[in-house]
Structure 1
Amino acid sequence: MNFELSKEQKDIKRAAREFAEGEIREVAKEYDRREEFPKDLWRKACELGFVGVYIKEEHGGADLGLLECCLITEEFWRVDPGCGCVLLSSFGAETLQNHGTKEQKEKYLPPIPAGEAIMGTAVTEPDAGSDIFGVRTTAFKDGEDYLINGSKIFITNGTIADYLAVFCLTDPDAKNRYGRYSMIMMETDRAGFEASKIKGKLGIRASDTAELSFSDVRVPAGNLIGGKEGNGFEQIMELFNMNRVVAASQGVGVGQGALDQTIAHVKKRQAFGSAIGKFQAVQFKLAEMATMVEAARVLTYQAAWLLDNGKTDPKLIAMAKWLSGETGVRVTDDALQLHGGYGYINEYDIERFYRDAKIVEIYEATKEMEKNTIARQLLGRF
């Protein structure tokens, strides 16, 4: 990989940084307090082309890569992780673009970058967690339609999405368990669907998270992504690989943002007659924090670049996601420690960053799942 970003990529990163500083910083604390998705901010981000940048030009997107998406995500999260989640308003469009029929792409993709629709993907279930083969939400044929029944939990954009890609069990008797599942597009205004907002989250409170229920939700058979049953497992694993890299860029962003705040703080904070930034112990801690962030950044960029060039490396993706999550948590913890008592009150942004960082170690597969993936790739069958 060429580790030097192109001029266009640097410009994209700079533009994302300017937008985040100019639009996100002033509203971040309020949306966190209200636990509310910032729709006005989302619309502005869409107007400037930051949402769904990987969507093809023919469907209204910028036709950029996953790396560019990660650059934007990093800069948004560097200023505020919660509001930075407006970029997840296209979550699942990757699957539609890669596997959807021509009609599905033309119907569902253009409204996303245009700021006319929000999308989500519904996979996790209350009794399944990280076990994708534990999914029990069903979608069985009834004439020319599917009837969807079941429940989902911790679904991003659950109460604000206009449509969802729902991971369903369509053939429970298939001999090959990988062929039992399918992905189906479902508009959220259909009868039998309910979404309940989950409140009281530790962090990223500006991101909408919900519990979903499906009771005989009737969906046309034409909404089956790709038009063929049994491809859901392949589709969702591909989406996970992409979004684990995006999550890794979130970890880089929250870590860098915490580091930025800490550098500014230790330069002005006085103790024992001197700025604490002059103390060797503080300097050593900053050096460790900066090194961790940079290592996570390089690993994340590499994983994204490989995917953009048609090379999927599950081990490297898992490494990027695990290290970036660990970095976000450790660096925000060190940052709060260096802020002392000031970091423990919400007048300082580091309090919010400390709460926000933990999610990167949990969603898109827990850190333990990432370590399992790495170990299996290292050991192979023996």
Structure 2
Amino acid sequence: MDFRLSDEQRLFRETLRTFVDREIVPVARDWEHEGRYPTEIVEGMRGLGLFGLAVPEAYGGLEADTVSFALTFEEISRGWMGIAGILGSHSVSCWMIARHGTEEQKQRYLPELATGERRTAIALTEPGAGTDLQSITTTARRDGDDYVVRGTKMWITNARHADPLPVLVKTDPGAEPAHRGMSMLLVDAGAPGLEITKDMGKLGYKGTESCEVVLDDVRVPATQLLGGVEGRGLQQALSSLETGRINIAARSVGIAQRAYDESLSYARERQAFGHAIGDFQAVQLRLSAIAVRLQAARLMTYWAASRMDEGVRMDTESGMAKIFASDAALECATDAMRIHGGYGYSTEFEVERLYRDAPLMSIGEGTNDMLGTVVARSLLAGKATIR
């Protein structure tokens, strides 16, 4: 195994790092507390071409390798994890359209999605269906050349900016097994009956909206059926979530990296009993624990990303990386808060935001408990080996 980055990947990381340090780090704390949408940062990401990460070069995108994809989410999350959410949902959707869309759908959407002129999202979860997507109740009834869509989606990142919004629906609610009756429709912004009703209040993950979306008899042309074939929606969604789990794992690494950076700096500067607190063994042990978890999570994430670049099925690897890295992010954020003592609880320091952002990583793109069973079943079935 070679865990060294290529020259191109190192240059890409340095470009990202400079952007984050200049455009995100100085404003993240204040903008998050103000509830301000990061319009200027989004424009900066457009300028770097980051909205085209998952778009093939033939349609104007970067078509980045998966390790570079992970580097992007790691570096942006080091500055402000919520910003990574804007790019994450967009990239997962772009990857899905690029892989499963018809040529007409690709030509229509991907070039403008690559530049960020259009943005997108993915509407899967519902008030009564999160991890168990086969339980969704949103339906799409065929009526001539259209589908008529009715239902409600919940926790949809980028919902107010998505055009198109891919929506997971049941085109055959009576199908057995249920996934055979599920399809993905590309719903254009402004379609009559499509309403973004509210932004959900959240503990962390600020900077991007997470919305309730109501579809009240929205008419969607049949040409907007992703891939042109009914009954493939769940498979299309789940395949795209493999990249989503890489991006969550990488976001977790970014949170852990910032927790380390802030803790190391504070341990060197904060004085107690006439010494820098970093001179005390208790602080040293917490600091070393952060560093160990951080580097292990980073290597596991890069390993899973490299497996995807090899073109192999890697749902087990991406699940393992997501589980480990997200757990590490929360542990690192907690230890960083302890190193900071009372100041770790203050909104004037970065670590309280890390502490609020980290828990989402164990929930997003499949809860860690659910992913643990997916990994175990794959191992028991002999579909993956650990050696």
- TM bracket, shorter-chain basis: over 0.9
- The residue aligned with 1:69 is 69
Matched, 1:2 2:6: no
Residue number in structure 2 paired with 1:160: 161
Cα pair 1:139 1:147 within 8 Å, conserved: yes
1:243 maps onto 2:255 in alignment: no
SS at match of 1:109: helix
The answer for the alignment partner of 1:276 in structure 2 is 277
Q: Which amino acid aligns with 2:204?
A: G
In the TM superposition, residue 39 of structure 1 has moved relative to its aligned partner by 2.1
2:81 aligned partner = 81
CA RMSD of aligned residues (A): 1.4
Q: Using the TM superposition, give the Cα deviation of residue 199 of structure 1 relative to its aligned residue in structure 2, in angstroms.
A: 4.0
Q: Distance in 2 between matches of 1:371 and 1:308?
A: 23
Q: For the Cα contact (< 8 Å) 2:92–2:240, is it kept in 1?
A: no
Question: Which residue of the partner structure matches residue 385 of structure 2?
Answer: none
Equivalent residue number for residue 359 of structure 1: 360
Q: Secondary structure at the match of 2:55?
A: coil
Same amino acid, percent of matched pairs: 38
Deviation at 1:380, TM superposition (A): 3.2
SS in 2 for 1:218: strand
CA distance in 2, matches of 1:290, 1:251: 14
Question: Which residue of the partner structure matches residue 231 of structure 2?
Answer: 230
2:54, 2:92 within 8 Å by CA — same for their partners in 1? no
Q: CA deviation at 1:160?
A: 2.3
What is the rounded CA distance, in whole Å, between the counterparts of 1:180 and 1:14 in structure 2? Answer: 46
What letter matches 2:363 in structure 1?
Answer: I
| Cα separation, 2, equivalents of 1:199 and 1:167 | 20
Contact kept, 8 Å, 1:197 with 1:208, in 2: the verdict is no
- In structure 1, distance between residues paired with 2:29 and 2:55: 31
For residues 379 and 66 of structure 2, what CA distance do their matches in structure 1 show?
26
Does the 8 Å CA contact 2:52/2:115 hold for their aligned counterparts?
A: no
Measured against aligned partners, the alpha-carbon deviations of 1:300-320 in whole angstroms (never above 9, x if no partner) come to 111111112211222222111
The equivalent of 2:111 in structure 1 is: 110
SS of 2:151's partner is strand
Residues 97 and 105 in structure 1, CA contact (< 8 A), matched pair in contact too: yes
Cα distance in structure 2, aligned partners of 1:11 and 1:81: 22
Please give the alpha-carbon distance, in whole angstroms, between the structure 2 residues aligned to 1:37 and 1:230: 37
Closer, same or farther: CA 359–304 of 1 in aligned 2, 3 Å: same
The amino acid of 2:62's aligned partner reads A
1:40 matched residue in structure 2: 40
Trace 1:326-365 onto structure 2 (pairs within 5 A).
326-365=327-366
Instruction: Provide the secondary structure at the position in 2 that maps to 1:122.
Output: coil
- Tell me which amino acid in the other structure corresponds to 2:140: A
The offset of 1:188, in angstroms, is 2.1
What are the Cα deviations for residues 28-76 of structure 1, in whole angstroms up to 9, with x where unaligned?
1233123343122112111112223121122121121222111011011
Alignment of 1:18-29 (within 5 A): 18-29=18-29
Q: Mean Cα displacement is larger for which, 12-21 or 158-167? A: 158-167
User: TM-score under structure 2 normalisation?
Assistant: 0.95
Residues 304-315 of structure 1 mapped to structure 2, 5 A cutoff: 304-315=305-316
- Deviation larger for 357-366 or 175-184: 175-184
TM (norm. structure 1) is 0.96
Deviation at 1:186, TM superposition (A): 0.4
Q: Give the direction of change, closer, same or farther, for the CA distance of 1:199–1:131 in structure 2 (3 Å limit).
A: closer
Q: Which runs of structure 2 are paired with 1:87-236 in the superposition (5 Å)?
A: 87-88=87-88, 89-236=90-237
Question: Could you list the per-position Cα deviations for residues 228-259 of structure 1 after superposition, in whole angstroms to 9, with x for gaps in the alignment?
Answer: 11111211110111101110001111011111
